[in-house]
């Protein structure tokens, strides 16, 4: 039997409606739209495309988006200055720094210099600590999208065996903590994991975030499992695929996200949802 397809679109649409309402409410109270600053260093095409996409979605939802560009040769001190300026700017509610940074700049600087109240992608030291400690926190957008999708399709998590393939700071690791908060039994696999299939075959929920097309094939998946494919890979023919061999795995899994059309539909909206949340929390601090 073929798996149920877990599309991102219906969740994105429901969120858009809710966020538009919240954006109007914020604007009424604050006298200005909620605002995200998207900071990027250099002129990497992919990150410019992403910045434009955020800008477009922000406009559609009634938020404002400001692009802040630093040249590729910017130094650590320039990055710090930009972060301090945006952190101090009362007209900016959320800051998103586009990653990866050029090699000569340290991500640690952002984690330490970012105002945690504006950290809409949950990368600051404070946000990471809050997530670890189960405190309310702004969390990275992609893991937040995975949890929203699982909730929307009512996939049970408590007591379930969840295997995450990929242990990055932006996807795998924060997702592990979010799912621990839901009382799942979480295993995280990575490049050094031996016998990957032995782990993935045990998963009732399998999340894959690696960046390798066709890494996961049908015989690595437990029959009936829910499979969430976070990977986005561009093939030589320019087509986009995930990390999961969709056509064969859909014959084994109980439910599966498509690529494109799954998690990728939600990431931008999650960033803007967090911007509104950050904006509302900061507004509350002022009254
Ligand atoms: P990353 O390169 O930072 O991390 C990759 C992780 O995969 C690492 O932990 C590494 O140890 C692990 N890994 C690599 N090869 C492996 C293997 N053969 N077996 C098991 N584990 C292996 O990547 P990232 O930033 O976490 O992104 C992962 C993927 O998710 C990419 O395809 C990226 O484009 C995609 N992504 C999608 C969205 C979205 O909105 N859908 C958002 C962010 C990232």
Task: Please tell me if the CB atom of residue 51 comes closer than 6 angstroms to any atom of ligand 1.
Answer: no
The predicted pLDDT at position 52 comes to 87
User: What confidence score (pLDDT) does residue 261 get?
Assistant: 97
Centroid of ligand 1 to alpha carbon of 209 (angstroms): 4
User: How many C-beta atoms lie closer than 10 Å to residue 242's C-beta?
Assistant: 31
Q: Of the residues 99, 147, 209, 234, which should be mutated to test ligand 1's pocket, given the most ligand atoms within 8 Å of the CB?
A: 209
Which residue, judged by its Cα, is nearest atom 1 of ligand 1?
168
How confident is the prediction along the chain (287 residues), in pLDDT tens digits per residue?
Answer: 799 999 999 999 999 999 999 999 999 999 999 999 999 998 777 777 888 889 999 999 999 999 999 999 999 999 999 999 999 999 999 999 998 899 999 989 999 999 999 999 999 999 999 999 999 889 999 999 999 999 999 999 999 999 999 999 999 999 999 999 999 999 999 999 999 999 999 999 999 999 999 999 999 999 999 999 999 999 999 999 999 999 999 999 999 999 999 999 999 999 999 999 999 999 988 76
CB 232 within 8 A of CB 238: no
Instruction: Give the distance (Å) from ligand 1 centre to CA of residue 133.
Output: 25
Q: Is 168 in the pocket of ligand 1 (CB under 6 A)?
A: yes
CB of 172 shorter than 6 A to ligand 1: yes
Per-residue pLDDT tens digits for 203-256: 999 999 999 999 999 999 999 999 999 999 999 999 999 999 999 999 999 999
242 Cα nearest atom in ligand 1: 32
Cα dihedral: 127, 133, 134, 137 (round 10): -10
Which of 96, 98, 230 has the most ligand 1 atoms within 8 A of CB, as the residue to mutate?
230
Q: What is the pLDDT of residue 147?
A: 98
Q: Which residue has a Cα nearest atom 32 of ligand 1?
A: 211
Strands (E), the chain: 4-5, 35-41, 64-70, 94-97, 161-165, 185-189, 205-208, 226-229, 233-234, 240-241, 255-256
Ligand 1 pocket: which of 53, 145, 200, 211 to mutate (most atoms within 8 A of CB): 211
CB 244 less than 6 A from any atom of ligand 1: no
Atom of ligand 1 nearest to the CA of 230: 41
Residue 136: the pLDDT is 82
Residue 287: the pLDDT is 65
With vertex at residue 80, the alpha carbon angle to CA 79 and CA 86, rounded to the nearest 5 degrees, is 90
User: CB atoms < 10 A from the CB of 56, how many?
Assistant: 12
Closest CA to 202 of 224, 173, 176: 224
Adjacent-strand bridge partners of 241? 233
Q: Are 93 and 279 in contact (CB under 8 A)?
A: yes
């Amino acid at each position: 039997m073929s798996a149920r397809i877990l599309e991102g679109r219906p969740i994105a649409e429901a969120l858009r409606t809710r966020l538009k309402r919240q954006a109007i409410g914020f604007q009424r109270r604050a006298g200005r739209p909620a605002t995200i600053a998207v900071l990027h260093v250099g002129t990497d095409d992919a990150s410019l495309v992403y910045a434009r996409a955020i800008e477009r979605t922000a406009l559609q939802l009634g938020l404002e988006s400001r692009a802040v560009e630093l040249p590729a040769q910017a130094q650590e001190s320039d990055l710090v200055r930009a972060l301090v300026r945006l952190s101090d700017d009362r007209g900016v509610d959320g800051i998103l720094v586009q990653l990866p940074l050029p090699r000569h700049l340290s991500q640690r600087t952002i984690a330490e210099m970012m105002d945690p109240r504006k950290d809409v992608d949950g990368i600051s030291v404070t946000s990471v600590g809050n997530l670890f400690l189960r405190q309310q926190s702004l969390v990275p957008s992609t893991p937040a999208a995975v949890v929203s999708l699982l909730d929307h399709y009512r996939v049970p998590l408590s007591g379930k065996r969840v295997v995450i393939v990929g242990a990055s700071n932006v996807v795998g690791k924060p997702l592990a903590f979010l799912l621990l908060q839901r009382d799942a039994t979480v295993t995280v696999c990575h490049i050094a994991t031996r016998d990957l299939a032995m782990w993935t075959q045990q998963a009732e929920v399998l999340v894959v975030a690696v960046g390798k097309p066709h890494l996961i094939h049908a015989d690595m998946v437990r029959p009936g499992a829910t499979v969430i494919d976070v990977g986005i890979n561009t093939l030589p023919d320019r087509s986009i695929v995930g990390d999961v061999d969709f056509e064969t795995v859909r014959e084994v899994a109980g439910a599966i996200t498509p690529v494109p059309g799954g998690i990728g539909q939600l990431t931008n909206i999650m960033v803007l949802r967090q911007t509104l949340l950050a904006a509302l929390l900061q507004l509350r601090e002022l009254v």
